[in-house]
Amino acid sequence: MTHEIRFESPSFSRRIKGMLGVDFYRLFHTPLFYIFLAIAAIIPAMVSAMTMMPDRSGNTMEPLYSNVWQIIAASKSMYVIETIADYANMNMVFIFGGIMVSIFIGHDYRSGYVKQLFTTHAKKQDYMISKSLVCAFAMACMCVSYFLGGTVAGLLVGYETDVNAGSLIIAIIGKMVMSLGWASLYTFLNVIFRKYFGISIASSFFFGTGILIIGVAAIVENLAIPTSFLNVFLYGASVNACLASNISALVICVVVSVVWAVIYNVAGTVLLNKCDVY
């Protein structure tokens, strides 16, 4: 009598749990994560406390902000920035957060971890999902660090503190929620440029600055075409998370972030399945 030995493939939940465990261990045990948390706190503090701009007459220099919470979010939802103060808020996390993601994922390829991982028949979709979730967590933590650094600096400088508390909370949560969409985009970009570390960092920085979106918004505005779709499809609803936000703005951020995550994870999985992943 012969006995056939069968090896059951681990379930999706077990695979993801295992990969998340490895990625979170790597995240918490590398200086990279803590360095970027510090950067996320220091940059808004420096911008808030030290940046001066000419007033309307152009003769006198005045602080970039007048209210503590302007460093966190713009006062209103806008598609084309009016002043640098409207741009220099928590959206900056999506710039240096993208650089962090590039370094974190880039190490997988430089160290040979990816080759070892996929040699053991790990699913490509699991890799995309795990990286997106772990990097989204890291960027959400950077949002919290940014909030603390910017708030402390603004209070020390003596800015006004008037704000609708509910809108402020929604704005902060909305930007943290968008971390999932942005992390998925950066993971996808790093899969595309996996063999070119410098290009992967440059591409993440470029998309994070929103230069492309601002340019498209200006063109669309000149053509008298409604710009509301830009908020959803190009800049990830981040502009909706402002100091005038309501619960519907948060819902939009959640929906858009999830849609981005699905699109970029599927695209990244297809790319990894069809190309040389090493």
What pLDDT, in 10s, does the model give residues 185-197? 999 999 888 888 8
Do 238 and 175 contact (CB within 8 A), yes or no? yes
Question: Which residues partner with 52 through β-bridges?
Answer: 63
Alpha helices in the chain (DSSP H): 12-28, 31-50, 84-87, 93-110, 113-119, 124-157, 165-192, 197-209, 211-222, 228-233, 247-274
pLDDT at 57: 57
Question: Which residues partner with 67 through β-bridges?
Answer: 160
In this predicted model, what pLDDT tens digit does every residue of 94-141 receive, in sequence order? 888 999 999 998 888 877 777 777 777 668 888 899 999 999 999 999
Provide the terminal-to-terminal Cα distance of the chain, rounded to the nearest Å.
44
Q: 169 is written with which tokens?
A: 């909370």
Segment 73-99 mean pLDDT: 76
Kindly give, in sequence order, each residue whose CB lies less than 8 Å from that of residue 18, ignoring residues fewer than 6 positions away.
10
Q: What is the 3-state secondary structure (H, E, C) of 141-153?
A: HHHHHHHHHHHHH
Name the residue type at position 27. L
Nearest to 175 by CA among 95, 105, 103, 104: 95
**Does the pLDDT of residue 55 top 60, yes or no?**
no
Give, for 62, the enclosing helix (H) or strand (E): strand 61-63
Calculate the average pLDDT of the chain. 81
**Does the pLDDT of residue 7 top 50, yes or no?**
no
pLDDT at 213: 65
Nearest to 243 by CA among 40, 86, 84, 41: 86
Nearest to 146 by CA among 249, 61, 73, 213: 73
Name the residue type at position 72. I
Least confident of 206-210, 241-245, 273-277: 273-277
Segment 60-83 mean pLDDT: 73
In this predicted model, what pLDDT tens digit does every residue of 220-266 receive, in sequence order? 655 555 556 655 565 656 677 888 888 988 888 898 899 999 999 99
CA distances from 104 to 4, 37, 138, 204, 229 (A): 43, 14, 11, 12, 32
**Does the pLDDT of residue 58 top 80, yes or no?**
no
Nearest to 187 by CA among 91, 108, 93: 108
pTM equals 0.84
